């Protein structure tokens, strides 16, 4: 859906993602035992939406979210990713942008063959800055 009337367009984009994830954890017990480490890699599909609103000649506000995993194959039980931010077009053509905002990323993962061997259930959030170049 694109409303390009005037100079304040609003866009809605559907997103399909193939995400590759590398999880690594290390734990050291307080009583002086050896470190316990584990690592898992997996690929999973995710789907989402991105909403963008142009607020000036070179500034955009946007909200992007995706959800994936769904217990498919060796992927996570559920992963979601939400980003809220703004973009500034560094070039008039829109081919390069500076983006900044806030990200919330949550993973719920258990190793299927032995759920006690490796599990990762974490939520991370915080600010981000990125540069995008479209070619």
> pTM for this one?
0.77
Q: DSSP 3-state assignment of 127? A: strand
pLDDT tens-place string over residues 87-112: 999 988 878 999 999 999 999 988 77
| Contact of 64 with 48, CB cutoff 8 Å | yes
| Contact of 51 with 62, CB cutoff 8 Å | yes
Are β-strands 119-133 and 36-54 bridged in parallel, bridged antiparallel, or unpaired?
unpaired
Taking the C-alpha atoms of residue 118 and residue 105, their distance in angstroms, rounded to an integer, is 19
Taking the C-alpha atoms of residue 33 and residue 45, their distance in angstroms, rounded to an integer, is 38
pLDDT tens-place string over residues 5-18: 445 589 999 999 99
């Amino acid at each position: 859906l694109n409303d390009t009337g005037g100079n304040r367009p609003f866009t809605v984009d559907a997103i399909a993602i193939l995400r590759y994830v590398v999880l690594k954890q290390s734990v050291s017990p307080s009583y002086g035992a050896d470190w316990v480490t584990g690592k898992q890699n997996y690929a999973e599909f995710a789907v989402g939406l991105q909403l963008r609103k142009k607020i000036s000649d070179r500034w955009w506000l946007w909200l992007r979210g995706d959800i994936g995993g769904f217990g498919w194959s060796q992927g996570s039980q559920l992963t979601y990713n939400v980003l809220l931010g703004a973009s500034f077009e560094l070039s008039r053509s829109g081919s390069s942008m500076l983006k900044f905002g806030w990200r919330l990323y949550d993973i719920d993962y258990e190793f299927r063959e032995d759920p006690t061997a490796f599990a990762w259930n974490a939520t991370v959030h915080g600010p981000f800055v990125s540069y995008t170049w479209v070619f």
